[in-house]
């Protein structure tokens, strides 16, 4: 089981921040809270040891993904409104009972160092979270690249529901990464690198 403390940090507190944004209560504290979305992806391979900040988020469990995709398609076909987009995410996407807390997704928008390392055959990455002043988690993962299919569509659709471009993007240019969690370490100042998942025996 993914530890409750990590679910609280990476999901519940993030959702609370989105809710405050939807209510117009977006202050400095909420801005810092969005570090839960923008994590550093650490990879190693032909491009060297590399760190790249990317937006990451959990994905619905397999049995809920088709229904979620249908709702995302419908939302993307509607006129854009930022407040409505936030409410849509809160009501239809960020539903805790439907989330797979063992997997993160992210989009590849640049296809440079991270892309070169992950597609070289290494297929491993560490996601490093840091929220000031002292909260940090190191999440070691196996990585899959998706250039079509439901994972790819979900990552692109969730991105565009909120970051709606004026002109439709060519999603064929933006593959998705699926990060399958292997280990989680608490790198905060009190724990200093204690593994919290799986629990040490």
Per the CB < 8 A criterion, the answer to whether 127 and 41 are in contact is yes
Count of CB atoms situated within 10 Å of the CB of 155:
26
Q: What is the pTM of this model?
A: 0.95
How much is the pLDDT for 23?
86
Give the H or E element holding residue 6: helix 4-7
How much is the pLDDT for 92?
95
Sorted by where each starts, the structural domains of the chain and their CATH numbers stand as 4-186 (2.30.110.10)
How much is the pLDDT for 166?
85
Phi and psi based region of residue 27 (left: phi greater than 0; alpha: psi -120 to 50; beta: remaining) = beta
**Phi, psi of 118, deg, nearest 5:** -70, -35
Residues of the chain falling short of pLDDT 50: none
**Phi, psi of 128, deg, nearest 5:** -110, 115
How much is the pLDDT for 138?
98
How much is the pLDDT for 25?
79
pLDDT, tens digit (0-9, with 9 covering 90-100), for 61-79:
999 999 999 999 999 999 9
């Amino acid at each position: 089981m993914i530890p409750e403390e990590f679910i609280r940090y990476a999901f519940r507190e993030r959702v609370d921040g989105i809710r405050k944004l939807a209510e117009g209560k977006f202050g400095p504290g909420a801005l810092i809270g969005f570090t839960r979305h923008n994590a550093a992806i650490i990879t190693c391979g032909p491009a060297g040891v590399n760190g790249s900040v990317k937006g990451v988020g959990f994905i619905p469990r397999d049995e809920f993904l088709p229904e979620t995709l249908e709702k995302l398609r419908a939302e993307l076909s509607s006129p854009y409104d930022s407040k409505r987009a936030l409410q849509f995410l809160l009501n239809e996407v960020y539903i805790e009972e439907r989330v797979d807390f063992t997997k993160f997704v992210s989009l590849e928008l640049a296809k440079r160092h991270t892309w070169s390392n992950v597609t070289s055959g290494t297929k491993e990455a560490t996601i490093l979270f840091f929220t000031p002043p002292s909260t940090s988690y190191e999440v070691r993962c196996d990585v899959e690249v998706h250039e079509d299919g439901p994972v790819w569509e979900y990552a692109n659709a969730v991105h565009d529901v909120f970051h709606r471009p004026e002109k439709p993007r060519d999603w064929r240019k933006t593959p998705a990464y699926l990060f399958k969690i292997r280990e989680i370490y608490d790198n905060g100042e009190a724990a200093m690198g204690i593994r919290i998942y799986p629990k040490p025996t």
